[in-house]
Amino acid sequence: MLNPVIEDRIRAGETCRMFRSDFFEWFSRIHPATPFVTYLPLIAYFFYRIDRRHDLGWLSVMGLVATGLMVWSLAEYVLHRYVFHFIREASWAKKLHFFLHGVHHDFPSDKDRLVMPLGASLPMAVLFYTVFYFITGGVRLGEPLYIGFAFGYLLYDGTHYAVHHFRQTTRIGKFLKKHHMKHHHGDNFGGFGVSSPLWDVVFRTMPHIVKKSERAAA
């Protein structure tokens, strides 16, 4: 049986049920702090391994971490644009889109579905660690890159939650919130960067508010 609070929120239209099974429904929800509790100790452990190996100077380590952060920002853009917004008319494609991302657009303020469930993020974490390991030839370069990548993922999750649930008072915060809200409420085909608009600028997908006249002409 689901938490009565969640049942009340479903009845109030603040969220929806995605699975008939209470077990799978429970796992489709996640507390926003969970990714940080899970991955920050992992990042600290990798820094510890790097320090114990003494096989790379710290200036080089931080350069690789910064590179990994940039790789994440591109992955964030590509995943959001081409995977989360994979939309086709086939019924299976519509269901896939809803499970991956459509539910968030239908219920954008649902606090239980603003960060990726561990059932999805952990396999991806293992996959990307493996990719970095084999591309760079081992842990010496792979782990610093992976630290930056993982930190970028946490930055994405934290930013995404913050722009939906916190009042932004800084110029950067206000800009990121406006950028993401345009994606939600004006232009679903632009604004795919959440933690940064960098790749939207590069690939010319900055969002804009679609006017009624533009919708009628489309």
Checking if the pLDDT of 74 tops 90, the result is yes
74-96: average pLDDT: 87
pLDDT at residue 136, as a whole number:
95
Checking if the pLDDT of 1 tops 70, the result is no
Checking if the pLDDT of 218 tops 70, the result is no
Q: What is the mean pLDDT of the chain?
A: 87
Checking if the pLDDT of 212 tops 60, the result is no
State phi, psi for 150 to the nearest 5 degrees.
Answer: -65, -40
Q: Could you please report the per-residue DSSP string of 117-182?
A: -HHHHHHHHHHHHHHHHHHHTSHHHHHHHHHHHHHHHHHHHHHHHHHHHS---SHHHHHHHHHHHH
CB 202 within 8 A of CB 194: no
3-state secondary structure of 36: helix
CB 9 within 8 A of CB 15: yes
Closest CA to 76 of 15, 119, 140, 121: 121
pLDDT at residue 114, as a whole number:
82
Distance CA 136, CA 115 (A): 29
**Torsion angle defined by CA atoms of residues 63, 67, 72 and 73, in that order, rounded to the nearest 10 degrees:** 110
Tens digits of residue pLDDT in 133-167: 999 999 999 999 999 999 999 999 999 999 999 99
59-88: average pLDDT: 94
